[in-house]
Amino acid sequence: MAQVSRIEPFSFGIDAASGVITPHQNLIQRRLSHMKGMFMDESAREAMFRVEDTLLYEVYEVMVPDEVGHLMICTSITYSGRVGREYFMTKGHFHKNIQTAEVYYCLRGQGFMLMESDRGDCKAEPMAAGRAVYVPAYYAHRSINTGKEPLISFCVYPGGAGHDYATIETKGFRKLVLEKNGRPQIEDNPKWKNNI
């Protein structure tokens, strides 16, 4: 095994109300324009986008060497809202090295961690402040905000895990979390594409 890089110990602050990490080295922002075709109701997304390119989620990242042995750190902030019946959510991804887990510790808000394995096993774990979700190896994962406040989590995953967004962008998840009579409901994804 290659030697793991030596870095200095450091500390950082996490504001549970906003999800901001201080100091952070990278900020990812995903808006309606980045999620074309990823919501069930594309015409609803398109109509919303014409009014405003709404911010759906943000990821604050602490940069350490992306190597096995290190731990990658970020916060994930998914804002409150819906595209049609579908709650605001992250794109979701597998890890490029699929044999790596991730831990989400929820600091604020309400929602679900939607997970789906490479074999098609599906699970949605509820998220709420003070709860943590273990996303095992082999599982794609997506944060979904079903509440009124931002859904904020502190996330840790192994160095070298990497990200595979393409699989979900192409196929989608088998399940969706949709609003029905004012409540979240898990339904089959009518657009889910097998064998692509």
Residues 75-114 close enough to bind a second copy by CB under 8 A: 97, 99-103, 105, 113
Residue 20 in contact with a second copy, rule: CB under 8 A = no
Q: What does the alpha-carbon distance between residue 71 and residue 101 come to, in Å, rounded to a whole number?
A: 11
Binding-site residue total for a second copy (CB under 8 A)? 52
Cβ proximity to a second copy: between 8 and 52 the closer is 8
H or E stretch covering 43: helix 42-51
Residue 120 in contact with a second copy, rule: CB under 8 A = no
* Pairing status of strand 151-158 against strand 102-108: antiparallel
Residue 184 in contact with a second copy, rule: CB under 8 A = no
H or E stretch covering 78: strand 71-78
Q: Which one of residues 27, 28, 47, 71 is an interface residue with a second copy (CB under 8 A)?
A: 71
Q: What does the alpha-carbon distance between residue 61 and residue 74 come to, in Å, rounded to a whole number?
A: 4
Cβ(67)–Cβ(160) below 8 Å: yes
Vertex 108: Cα angle to 104 and 109 (nearest 5): 100
Cβ proximity to a second copy: between 2 and 51 the closer is 2
Note the residues at the interface with a second copy (CB under 8 A). Answer: 1, 3-16, 62, 64, 68-71, 73, 97, 99-103, 105, 113, 115, 117, 121, 123, 125-127, 130-139, 154, 156-159
